[in-house]
Structure 1
Amino acid sequence: MRIVAVLLLVVLAGCGARTQAQEAPAPDPLRGTTFVAMAVTEDGKPRQLAPRTELTVEFTDDGRLIARAGCNIMQGQVDTGDGTLTVDGGLSMTEMGCDPARHDQDEFVAGVLSANPTWELTDGRLTIRSGTTVFDMAAEDAMPRDLQGTTWVLDTLIDGDVASSTAAGAPEVTLVFDGKKVTADTHCNGYTAEYVIEGDTITFTPGASTLMACAPEIMAGETAVADALRDEVTFEVTADRLTFTHPSGKGIGLHAQ
């Protein structure tokens, strides 16, 4: 009788363990993934993003949502349960100065993500919906970009907490990295530098350059490149965006051509 009782306890304990395992919550499929907006619609009509910007939403392994819409960074702890994005305590946002188009875009995105939108993940495509506004997003891993082998176009000048767009009508400034040297076509003196990558930093050794004076809108782009790509700087590649930040606070933002 005692043996039967012990066996019964073992069976019941095993059933309890299986029940607890069955009731364990499923892992969050969004964590550890960054999504890039393929399309944004309002009332069923496309909403164009500000020129030379993109919208990304990152779900970190420690449960944060980090959104970038072209200027400031928004983030907060997020609960993805029941197919809803609930940002606990609201989104915090950096306070970098931007042009009106990107400032308005930041406010628009923050409003959508703060409104407890619903989400649905199907075959790597994430749909975020708030009322009649829809973000159609794809996993960033599905659209990688390499520093080398891509032509990068300058679109943002960064000076400390202030980011501004390149001058309207100015010729495009492009950067090409060949694995050892970066060449910038600035439509004036040009710029070249040898570089070495280590982790998320690059050390640049600028080459010789002419000192020709050009139109102010052209010199602005050339000066920004020269100020950012010197010494040791940090860089970040996100989908089709590339950002360099020098310890001085000078920096540049580029998009893939």
Structure 2
Amino acid sequence: MENNSTLKVASLGSGSKGNATLVSNGEVIVMVDCGFTVKEVLKRLPRLNIEPDQIDGILVTHEHQDHISGVGALSRRFSIPVWSTRGSLLSGKCGNLPELNLIEGFQPFSIGSLDVTPLSVPHDAREPCQFLFTQDELRLAILTDLGCFTPKIVEQLTPCHGILLECNHDEEMLWNGSYPERLKQRVAGRMGHMSNRQAIELLQLMDRDSLQLVIATHLSEQNNCPKLVSTLLAETLSWPVERLKIAGQDSGFGWQEIGLNSSIRAESA
């Protein structure tokens, strides 16, 4: 019997000026982070043919401004439930929320028919996490804002059909760039952001047989180059460059779909 399970993912924007990602299994739509104002969210959502009242939940990865600044306002205006670790909430940046669901001990949970597994990650925040979404046997990982990957993370990503992967900086561009020395150390540190080299190393350690979709996210506008990232990832995966996707700061990316049915391919909706 043919399995037609699918997962879709899209982005309103990705980078140091704001992040918001949408994931849907066809029945449930969730937003991962909201680092934009409500006004900006309402401006960008129509590109994805989504109304705010269709969003069933907001998942918070951590409390840095480019990920959390719009969470509280969007949640209150449209009565959207929020899922967050206790550590991220301690920042107080969300304010009062109409419905709060605590992520405890990185234990899996469900939002309607969508299953979610929080992933503990090394990043300089109180209790940061990323997320793995599953639909039947289909698995989509969002893995951004971490300074490095761990053996546990590699284990959790096996198998994986789609991944949004942080490719924040090119190490040479970072160290030769204009950032103050302290900021360079923070970005390149174990709790900072993943470089192109680290992203490639993670992909090399993963079981890549099931991968249908790889999207590079959270690229530094000063210390990276989309063309360079696409070329490096394509070489690592032995994919044509055109198959790689880049999440832009202003444009994000349109709906991409993965599925267990072999006839389904990742395409922009």
TM-score by shorter chain over 0.5: no
Task: Identify which of structures 1 and 2 has the higher relative contact order when contacts are C-alpha pairs closer than 8 Å and 6+ apart.
Answer: 2
Which structure has the bigger radius of gyration? 1
Q: Identify, as 1 or 2, the structure richer in strand.
A: 1
TM-score for both structures, normalised by structure 2: 0.28
Q: Identify, as 1 or 2, the structure richer in helix.
A: 2
TM-score for both structures, normalised by structure 1: 0.29
